[in-house]
Structure 1
Amino acid sequence: MKEWYGYSKTLAEETVWRFAKENRIDLVVVIPGNVIGPILQPTLNYSVGVIVDLINGKNPSNSFYYRYMDVRDVSLAHIKAFEVPSASGRYILADPDKTMKDIQKFLHELFPDLCRVDKDAENEVSEMACKVCVDKLKSLGIVFTPIKESLKDNVVSLKEMCILI
Structure 2
Amino acid sequence: MTEAKKRGVQLLVVLPPVTLGPALSKGLHLTAIHLARYMTATKKTIPNAVASYIDVRDFAWAHELVYKSPEVSGRYLCIGYVMHQLELINLLKELFPHYPYSKRDEDDETPMVKSYEFSNQRIKDLGLRFTAIKETLTDTVISLQEKGHLPIYTSS
TM range (shorter): 0.7 to 0.9
2: distance between equivalents of 1:125 and 1:88?
40
Q: Which residue of 2 aligns with 1:126?
A: 112
1:148 partnered with 2:134: yes
Which aligned pairs between 1:2-81 and structure 2 lie closer than 5 A?
Answer: 19-57=3-41, 58=43, 64-81=49-66
User: How far apart are residue 70 of structure 1 and its match?
Assistant: 0.2
Identity %: 30
Task: Give the count of matched residue pairs.
Answer: 149
Q: 1:37 to 1:52 in 2, by over 3 A?
A: same
TM-score by length of 2: 0.82
- Is residue 47–residue 104 contact of structure 2 (8 Å, CA) maintained in 1? no
Richer in helix (by share): 1
1:100 partnered with 2:85: yes
Q: 1:38 to 1:60 in 2, by over 3 A?
A: farther
TM-score by length of 1: 0.78
1: distance between equivalents of 2:104 and 2:45?
14
Q: 1:70 to 1:60 in 2, by over 3 A?
A: farther
> Cα RMSD between the aligned structures?
2.7
Q: 1:42 to 1:90 in 2, by over 3 A?
A: same
User: How far apart are residue 24 of structure 1 and its match?
Assistant: 1.3
Counterpart selection for 1:163 from 136, 142, 149: 149
Which of these two proteins has the greater Rg computed from alpha carbons? Answer: 2
Q: Which residue of 2 aligns with 1:135?
A: 121
